[in-house]
Structure 1
Amino acid sequence: MEKMIEIKNLHVQFSTYGGQVQAVRGVSFDLHKGETLAIVGESGCGKSVTSQSIMRLIPTPPGRITSGSILFKGQDLTKLSEKKMRDIRGADISMIFQDPMTALNPTLRVGEQIAENIMQHENISKEKAKEKAKEKAFEMLELVGIPNPKERLKQYPHEFSGGTRQRIVIAMALICNPEVLIADEPTTALDVTIQAQILELFKDIQQKTDVSIVLITHDLGVVAQVADRVAVMYAGKIVEIGTRRDIFYTPQHPYTKGLLRSVPRLDLYESELVPIAGSPPDLFAPPSGCSFAPRCPYVMEVCDRMYPVSTKLKESHQVHCWLQDERAQKFVTTIS
């Protein structure tokens, strides 16, 4: 299967008065054509920083990509100039942000805002761009399921509901037919009914356009509905990655199991939620061993000393955990 995005050993840090925050620490994953990869984890684990790194939207300063590569169809985005990145953003890779009101200009009509991308990226005259943009904006509103698109294009963002505004943001992201779509918590601010509609919209759009999607979320219910593969992040690292079935039915990392136990179950009325005890590590001085070790009920001595390498359980399923590494006993003996 064709790889659209290949991230290899990505490190991102932020300079603060308190020191260097190691926000992303050696993240690696691939995104294949036409698939949805969900990146999940608790707040502060590095999900959004990873997605913004793909778009080269990390504010510099204080943030910077210190090492690693981000390959888009074989081209390393970390080595491109800002001018070349502007050509890629919106045209080849688009992003949907969490709050649609921060992505929409309250002083411009919706039609003008949807059309901006075409006017930015199409190599045609301004008059032809405006004409094409108007036609394309109409098509986009139809694609994302907004009724009466002709009238709605003339309205301002405040005249739309939250769910409809999110559909407009999706239309803006798709107008130039990007090959990769990054959705950063796209349903967080929406109620459950509208959330379900937006998720159905994502699946429908993917079937029609074959776009590859990176979905950033902390909601495992969302992941269960739309993801093909799931990457679980903790303290700036991916601790487990696999297919949706791998993660939900045969999770192997204690953190992944803890996330799943903390999700309410409607089929188990008397069951209690089991929280993950403790707190994430300080990323000013991250531990050299497994970051989850202080919170892990199965911790071994080796976990505090050395970070586990990736263990391939099968072709689609990998985990960073000493419990799954057959060499753990040897290392325990060595460091004792």
Structure 2
Amino acid sequence: MTLIKEQRKQYGNAKADLPVLSVKDLQVTFKTYGGTVQAVRGVSFDVFRGETLAIVGESGCGKSVTSSAIMGLIPSPPGEITGGQVVFKGKDLTSLSKKEMREIRGVDISMIFQDPMTALNPTLKIGDQLTEGIRQHQKISGAEAKKKAVEMMKLVGIPNPEERLKQYPHQFSGGMRQRIVIAIALMCEPELLIADEPTTALDVTIQAQILELFQEIQEKTGVSIILITHDLGVVAKIAHRIAVMYAGKIAETGTKREIFYQPQHPYTKGLLNSVPRLDLKGKALEPIEGTPPDLFSPPVGCPFAARCPHAMVVCDKLMPETEQLTFTHKASCWLLDERANPA
């Protein structure tokens, strides 16, 4: 405990003690003709002031569903938040009415969706789309809203903002559209920004520019960021902490250094081994064999057991507890529990 207190002190009391958002045992299900899908199964994490938390994992692990649940955007039916809390500024967002969530969404918490090509309305000028949200939430004039829009366009690096406000989305490149989407999300100066695969549809050069933009915006505004991605290269660039998600659960959480250099969960190690590296030229990649479990009837034990090269009998029978390794590093794996470790 003394070691954890010391690491907490080193990590910084400002970040350690003041979470902007606390997700506690979140559970989300979807009812379908084939049965009930348990998409998110007891996810917990905190986001601290001025930091970037990356949630990584393969497709279908529940990353985007988690972000939608935070924003109150789970379609009901068929989706439903069946348990847990999403605490923001002392309020449990899961208990708020639709009207109360509308007052928070876009003002205190904003979201950047993954495809800039479809996130913008092709029939409206960029200026109208930028000012729509702020005029709805704040009592300001059209001139003031336009001035704010120009400031945001400058912040995200769009040249000649006064002229470009009059243009339509098709007159912008993919990278510029993504900058517009980011500017829209920042118009009301939110405390938390959720970016769902923000660089997926962009080429690598533009990806690098957008990631640098996130860093610049965070330095200037102090906004907290949740980054949803499957790209570990993106994570390495801008994340402070990383949550590795698998089959609707958090497998491991830690700082960037802990996850990349001291991974403890076999799934995290598998993800890292499957990424091409310049310093291992000529070495074959190691894919993770098998497929994720069926979330219509998820396993009672560790969800990664069927694909894990180190699986033990207990892994199939019981869910592992979360082991607190350091103040910032924890993982859910029986290999870390001395009661089950054969060594």
TM range (shorter): over 0.9
Partner of 1:198: 210
Q: Distance in 2 between matches of 1:173 and 1:132?
A: 17
Q: CA deviation at 1:130?
A: 1.3
Q: Distance in 1 between matches of 2:157 and 2:325?
A: 41
1:272 to 276, 284, 289: 284
1:76 to 87, 92, 95: 92
Letter in 1 for 2:154: E
Q: Deviations over 1:170-191 (max 9, x none)?
A: 0000010000000000000000
Partner of 1:162: 174
Partner of 1:65: 81
Give the secondary structure class of the aligned counterpart of 1:267.
Answer: helix
Q: CA deviation at 1:293?
A: 0.2
Q: Where do 1:107-122 residues align within 5 Å?
A: 107-122=123-138
Runs of 4+ in 1 over 3 A off after TM superposition: none
Q: In the alignment, does 2:147 pair up with 1:135?
A: yes
Partner of 2:298: 286
Q: Distance in 1 between matches of 2:265 and 2:141?
A: 51
Partner of 2:271: 259
Partner of 2:67: 51
Q: Distance in 2 between matches of 1:213 and 1:327?
A: 37
Q: Deviations over 1:14-55 (max 9, x none)?
A: 000000000000000000010000000000000000001000
Q: Distance in 1 between matches of 2:231 and 2:166?
A: 34
Q: Where do 1:183-262 residues align within 5 Å?
A: 183-262=195-274
For normalisation by structure 1, the TM-score amounts to: 0.96
Q: CA deviation at 1:129?
A: 2.8
Q: Distance in 1 between matches of 2:41 and 2:177?
A: 35
Q: Distance in 2 between matches of 1:132 and 1:86?
A: 22
Q: Distance in 2 between matches of 1:30 and 1:68?
A: 14
Q: In the alignment, does 2:339 pair up with 1:327?
A: yes
What is the RMSD computed on CA atoms of the aligned residues? 0.8
In the alignment of these two chains, the number of paired residues is 326
For normalisation by structure 2, the TM-score amounts to: 0.94
Give the secondary structure class of the aligned counterpart of 1:259.
Answer: helix
Q: In the alignment, does 2:339 pair up with 1:308?
A: no
Q: Distance in 2 between matches of 1:228 and 1:132?
A: 35
Letter in 2 for 1:102: T
Q: CA deviation at 1:298?
A: 0.2
Letter in 1 for 2:118: T
Partner of 1:95: 111
Q: Distance in 2 between matches of 1:12 and 1:316?
A: 26
Partner of 2:8: none
Q: Distance in 2 between matches of 1:29 and 1:222?
A: 20
Q: Where do 1:139-154 residues align within 5 Å?
A: 139-154=151-166
1:298 to 307, 310, 316: 310
Give the secondary structure class of the aligned counterpart of 2:30.
Answer: strand
Give the secondary structure class of the aligned counterpart of 1:91.
Answer: coil
